[in-house]
Structure 1
Amino acid sequence: MPRCEDCREAGAQPCQGDLVLCQRCSDKRFPPSGSESEAVCKDVIINDLLCFTVNKMDTLPFDIITKLCTETYMDEEIESAKRLVFDTCKPDERYIKRKGGDKSTANMEDIQRVLHSTAPPSLPTFVSATLHLPAVSLEHVDISVCMQELQIMRQEMKLIRDCSIDSVRVQTELVALRKEIWELKNRPSSAPPAPSSSAPPAPSSSAPPAPSSSAPPAPSTSAPPVVSTSAPPAASTLAWPKESYADAVSDTCPSETIPKSLHAGLPGRQVERAPTTKSSQASRRRGYSSDSRALARPQSTSAGGHSDLDSEGFRLVQRKKKRSRAVVGTAVSSSLSAVKSRPAEIFVTRLEPDTLTQDVERYLTDNLSQKCAVSCSKLTTKYDGYSSFRVSVDYNALSEVLSPSFWPCGILVRRFHSRRRSSTS
């Protein structure tokens, strides 16, 4: 007799899809439709992760479901869903608590394995209350969120339309206003009104003649005087006399601040010296009267007798000539020789406490690229944990000695500056 393909029991019969199954395996794979199958399980459990997994485990591969769930849900939610599946489905395998970095992936594999091994009628109904589901296709799009976004877009479009309508209205009013202004500017001006017939009559021939430019007109009681139409006097007769800067400041400035050459240009005007106050004396002490002293000095004249003062009585300050810069010789000569320069002093510290002056001198002599005189003296330090030295070398070797690569690591080197002696009064 044929055996069942699932449980390998005898008494199997052909069923759907050319399968040979027993009655129990056939009912498990292809549950009968009717009220009995609907009433097998009436439990409804709210869980977003299990709702998504049960609805998609027949259409999507395992790895895709695992990847979507691990990216959407936290580790605690996956662990709680696994515990719920094991409590409701009661599989034969033992519950294993996963650990490690990929425990969420292992828990999702356990959940899908248990759900696939459980008969569909025995599975509870998992539903989602918050619609916190991974978006796989258009079937899983949150419609409520889409409706909210659509409503917001409609409101924004309405605001944009209202603003555009207002801008068009303002533009229309602006064009009309410009047109009115243009019409007002181009409107022809009205002619002046004609003289009225009630104007006073012209003066008779018996009226006195027009006054000459030399004598003022005589007053007349019979008719108003005739206004002369002669040209106004020349500008030269009305112009104010030109006054120099020295004349203008002579009334306010003290006499000591005016050059002697300006006193000659003030005939008939006595220049008085302003009284000296304490504030002016203090300003002179602070150096604020340097300009007045410069003005009070006698003005020099050139060789030809021409003064170097301008029309206002001031001398133009000329920039002094720059001094030529000194040079230092570099040639080698046997007949002439320069004096030896003062040796450069450097400060060396952070050495071992037992370091001697001979050690420092020997290190400098061995490592310098050129031979030079080296002297060293040990200094008194504040603490006993290190030692410091005062080293004298030639100026030619100063740049090499102050190089960081010349000294061992950790040693501090800088120029030596001696203390200045306090000057006694």
Structure 2
Amino acid sequence: MTHHLDAIDPLAGFPSRFIQSDQVLAYLDGNSLGRPLTATLDRLAGFVAHDWGSRLIRSWDEQWMQLPLTLGDRIGHVALGAAAGQSVVADSTTVLLYKLIRAAVDARPGRTEIVIDTDNFPTDRFILEGIAAERGLTLRWIETDPALGATPELVADAVGADTALVVLSHVAYKSGYIADVERITSITHEAGALILWDLCHSAGVVPTELDAWNVDIAVGCSYKYLNGGPGAPAFAYVASRLQPELRQPIQGWMGAADVFAMADGFRPADGMRRFLSGTPPVLGMVPLHDMVDQIEEAGLEAIRAKSLALTAFVIEFSDAHLAEFGVTVGSPRDADHRGSHVTLQHPAFREVTQLLWLRDVIPDFRFPDGLRIGLSPLSTTFAEVELGLNLVRDILTELAG
């Protein structure tokens, strides 16, 4: 069956462009760390030999000073639905979240609450706890169904005249639930608040229209579906209408109006440069070019179509072959609300995950009982998904034996 699905896959030519390993039988964790592209080997070598090795410090003037902005614009165009001048690559997701959350709440003086859901990613929650303590603010928690996420109705009940900022994830990191960004953003604006969307599990795999949806701020990582590699820098989006009023708190020299003035006081640059702080992680940006090229070539609509086919296959397999062991599906069955990973649930899945890794099948585990099957459409085949799920069934059979 899967051989037929791979044979008719319009994106069948893409998996061979990624580095393969005889130490991996099935890679089902592309939503945590994407595979590297073979093209990146030559790009990295060229960077070391030419951009760094030959041009040396001249590369700052020739390209590196503008790279956070030019690469940000390219990601914005290809993956985010963002016009130029609104995206930048810099720092880690954690640091960008801190800078932009601080900037957002300071831009809404007199408002005392930040809204976030209880099932959001720990980093988002932890940062908000710290900022709330720093600024004397209150966190208003949205209690969500763990299998779903923040709905427009829940957000409408939570926001009000005291809301400064809402922080939510486009795709929930556990269940894969896709939030209704456009409706929730509109509800937030009606309350007079700003909204920040975490795009870590959607950028590059779920069609996103930040401009059309009137989003204020967004942050996302680049090592999942953008395949930037471990520790690759994150990206940020700030709508052009908001840029002049947001002042980020980590005032480094790269965000200054005149970087080399060595001025006595800080004056922020115009546009997205004001959200930079220290020296950009140039080397960490190098692999991103290759994956953005692949996404643009394939097209997000085609990527989304294969993502839905892969996740549907996982759900169908689970229903047919794993449910008898007590496995349940912890992700939305409705395709319109499902991202590019499926979380299967069973009390033994922590042990099962460890055994899978020992046998070179690589999903990941999410507390308390979730086996998360991450499906990166450009690098994942139906055959490897089937191989991995068959081993899940085999291990559950052994454990039950």
TM-score, with structure 1 as normaliser: 0.19
Structure scoring higher RCO (CA < 8 A, sep ≥ 6) equals 2
TM-score, with structure 2 as normaliser: 0.20
